[in-house]
Structures are given as C-alpha cells and as structure tokens.
Amino acid sequence: MGVLRARAVTELLRRGADPNADGTKPVASVVLPVTVDREGRPTGVHTLDGTEIDVFSAAVLACDALVHPVIVDGANNPLNMGRSVRLYTPTQKQALVIRDGGCVFPGCEQPARRCAAHHRRGWAQGGETNVDDGALLCPRHHGLMHCEQPWTLSRYDLADLPAHLADAHRVRAANANLEPATDVRVFHNPDGLMFLAQNATDHHGPTPLQRQPAA
C-alpha cells in the first residue's frame, strides 16, 4: 500500500513538473532523502514524511521533477550537503572520523581531534560539502594543500591506479580483514608523485598485550 501511495504521489508530481509554457524548467521541486549506511551504500529512498519509495518511482521523480537528493545516515542526518553549506556539519565530521580515523596525509599520526575537515576541491572553486569529497587533515598538512606549490588530493577507481599503489591498497585492506574499496584517495605532491591517502585502518595501533595471570 505504501508503494502504491508513493506511485500516486509520483504521478501527481510528474504532472506538476511539466515545463512552464514560457520556459523549460519544471515547476515542481522535490526533496528525496536517500539513506546510506556507514560505508555509503544506499539503503532506501523516502519522502520527507517517511514513506518508502520504490526504485521505479524514484527514477520517475528523477526524470520528471527538479529533484534535490539529500544523502542521510540511518538517523536521517544529512551527510552530503552539496553547495548548500560551506562548512562541514557535526554529523559529517563524525562520518569523517569513522572513515579517516585521523589525518589522511601519508605517514601522519595526528588523531582526529587535532584535524579539520578539508574540501578536496576548494569551496571557492565550486567544491561541495560532501563526505565523499572531504578529508581530515592536521594543521601542518592542511597548510600543504593551500601553499604556493600545493599538494592535491584526488579520487581514483582502483582499476586506474598504478600497480604499486593498487597492491598497497589491497594489502592494507587485507591486513584489516576488509574488501579493498574501489574508490581510492591519492595525494599528488608538487612534483607529480602519487601517495595513498590514509584511512581509519592506518590509525589503528597494535593490539594491547594481554596481561598474563599470576602463576
């Protein structure tokens, strides 16, 4: 029944989204919260009142209306804010801490509490305030991203990485008993050399030794 209601609403929105006689822009504006888990995998699409929308209906909306997808976590906290805000929200920073664990600069051991959220693409250059495009950086390495000869942070598909970086990425994932992510962040230094960005698994210290019981 919920899906049928969603489809009925979709049809009304589709009709209302027909272009104006004097222009080509749709007249309906739709906000669709897209729920994702901690790994960023979509788990559902809902209306603002919580009604679940099936994939077909969501596709119709995306084609026929001016849709504003808002990526949210399981508690409906927005994670991707696009150009709506310049600074990362507290919830977004929590997501960055979970994913990054601390400064993502290669070899840096600064914890998350000493880091700021950095836009991979600068806000002034059209960057968006999204978790996917954010990274935790300590003050020292944040400065390297904004100096005269800045380092840059890019995202690569695993298949497009140089072999030595792809192998290092797979080894890192295997050591953490994880599947290697297909979306990999890479630093470029001013000379063009490439380095894997760190993530939370790089900031996990060794397992503490268990105290042996007295004989």
pLDDT in tens, 56-68: 566 555 554 455 5
**Concatenated DSSP letters of 41-105:** -EEEEB-TTS-B--HHHHHHHHHHSEEEEEEE-TT--EEE-TTS-SSPPHHHHHHHHHHH-B--S
Compute the average pLDDT of residues 108-135: 84
| Measured distance CA(133)–CA(122) in Å, rounded | 10
Give the residue among 144, 182, 104 at the shortest CA–CA distance from 117: 104
Residue 155 pairs in a beta bridge with: 185
DSSP run (H or E) holding 122: none
| Measured distance CA(63)–CA(34) in Å, rounded | 16
pLDDT for 167: 96
Residue 6 zone, left/alpha/beta (φ > 0; ψ -120 to 50; rest): alpha
Amino acid, res. 151: W
pLDDT, averaged across the chain:
74
pTM: 0.62
Place of tokens 């900031």: 203
| Measured distance CA(193)–CA(159) in Å, rounded | 18
pLDDT in tens, 140-162: 999 999 888 999 999 999 999 99
Q: Which two tokens stand for residue 145?
A: 């991203």
pLDDT in tens, 185-198: 999 999 999 999 99
Q: Do residues 102 and 149 make contact, with C-beta atoms less than 8 angstroms apart?
A: no
pLDDT at 2 over 80: no
Name which residue leads in pLDDT, 130 or 38: 130
Share of the chain above pLDDT 90, in %: 30
pLDDT at 40 over 80: no
The answer to whether the Cα torsion of 164, 165, 170, 174 is positive or negative is: positive
| Measured distance CA(60)–CA(152) in Å, rounded | 38
Name which residue leads in pLDDT, 165 or 203: 165
